[in-house]
Structure 1
């Protein structure tokens, strides 16, 4: 069974990697500008510029850290919200107003906030969590330290808020909901293997790790 799951995961990785290459080709020539992104980020700082700020709809959880996240992933996520592949009313509304240049500028700005480097080796997981990580084949996409993804369009997840990670993981298991859900086939296949309690264990471990993402307080909130 594990060999079958690994084969499926590798097939899906290949398919989505080709998709990521297609997106990159489509966006070729769109270079992000950090200073331009800083100005455009005014629409983002009401949530992403407040340390520990909590989203209240459709579920209470901390707004994710995006300072230091990879630019390619930020663009990928915004594109998914804009297309409806990711369902979140406020994020879809914001992403829907953005051009490719806007996304590239915002992504460059937030990527520039990376702080140092995550350690190459993270604290060992418990035996139970290690089994879950192996079952989900998590390191094959997100990297052995969960901060150096196989492809930059995949997210760094080490040190992300655990409650946000839990919300995100559950979203990949949801179907037929107008406000919650994510359609990524790799993550859907992975997340649907687990019970919610197991997804929470994974989220808590990944959130406990050291990464180089952070929430940078903006001037009006300092």
Structure 2
């Protein structure tokens, strides 16, 4: 029964990925790295400071986005702009951006940690965590080393801050809150299988995996 459920989940994830990919690829504007660098002033106050912490909805480090996939950065900003991701600060910022601004910022940050490549084989998880990752079919979307997502709109998650990952994973389970939550049918279906303690185990492991993400300090004045 367990194998059947996992197999079914992987099939659903794969089918949804094909559908979402066709939509996201059709809507993605071409980004310019130099233009993105010039537009990143609003981002560096949080994402350009190593160890910078956000206090909403709880204290956690802001995510590393240098070296992230351009498709994911674009998808995330568009979700904040639409309100599918409910974070007051990020929604305010994303709401001020045009499609071209988003594409340019995504191009800049995706190229910002160029040349860093994650190992093909990730650090082996403890048996209990391996079972959780299998249950969630995590490698089906994020790649065997968690740095090669099967769709450009999916994030690299290897090496990401554990506290941020935990907050992000929990947010998919929040419903009916105007300030917190993420509307994503794939991730919502996955995270609802786990307790918060199990989500924390997953996040803590992923943070220890060598990845391609970084926080690149930026000059305050350009």
Work out whether residues 17 and 151 of structure 2, in 8 Å CA contact, stay in contact via their aligned partners in 1.
no
Aligned runs of 1:161-172 on 2, under 5 Å? 161-172=161-172
Match of 1:152 in 2: 152
- For residues 88 and 156 of structure 1, the distance between their equivalents in structure 2, rounded to whole angstroms, comes to 21
Alpha-carbon distance between aligned partners in 1 of 2:127 and 2:197, rounded to the nearest angstrom: 16
Q: Deviations over 1:66-92 (max 9, x none)?
A: 000000110000111111111100101
Q: Secondary structure at the match of 1:194?
A: coil
Please give the TM-score of this superposition, normalised by the length of structure 2.
0.95
Matches within 5 A, 1:177-192: 177-192=177-192
Which residue in 2 is equivalent to 1:139?
A: 139
Q: Which residue of structure 1 aligns with residue 212 of structure 2?
A: 212
Q: For residues 212 and 93 of structure 1, what CA distance do their matches in structure 2 show?
A: 28
Deviations 1:150-179 (A, max 9, x none): 111100000000000000000011111111
Contact 1:159 1:211 in 2 (8 A): yes
**In structure 1, distance between residues paired with 2:140 and 2:54:** 30
Q: Secondary structure at the match of 2:155?
A: coil
| Runs of 4+ residues deviating >4 angstroms | none
Residue 13 of structure 1: how far off its partner (Å): 3.4
Structure 1: give runs of 5+ residues left out of the alignment. none
Deviations 1:87-125 (A, max 9, x none): 100101111111110001000000011241000001110
Two-structure CA RMSD over aligned residues (Å) = 1.3
Q: What runs of 5+ residues in structure 2 fail to find an aligned partner?
A: none
Q: What is the CA–CA distance in structure 1 between the aligned matches of 2:91 and 2:169, rounded to whole Å?
A: 19
1:23 aligns with 24
- Preserved CA contact (<8 Å) 2:118 2:211: yes
The answer on whether the counterparts of 2:160 and 2:207 sit within 8 Å (CA) in structure 1 is: yes
Query: In structure 1, how many angstroms separate the alpha carbons of the residues matched to 2:189 and 2:6?
Result: 9
133-142 or 106-115, which deviates more: 106-115
Match in the other structure for 1:127 = 127
The CA distance in 2 between the partners of 1:209 and 1:49, in whole Å, is 22
Partners of 1:163 and 1:15 in 2: CA distance: 28
Q: Please give the alpha-carbon distance, in whole angstroms, between the structure 2 residues aligned to 1:163 and 1:58.
A: 12
- Is 2:16–2:186's contact at 8 Å kept on the other side of the alignment? no
Counterpart of 2:7 in structure 1 is 6
Structure 2 CA distance for aligned equivalents of residues 85 and 13 of structure 1: 22
Question: Retained in 2: the 8 A contact 1:12–1:185?
Answer: no
Q: 2:194 maps to what in 1?
A: 194
Structure 1 segment 88-99 matched on structure 2, within 5 A: 88-99=87-98
* Offset of residue 18 of structure 1: 1.0
Deviation at 1:17, TM superposition (A): 2.9
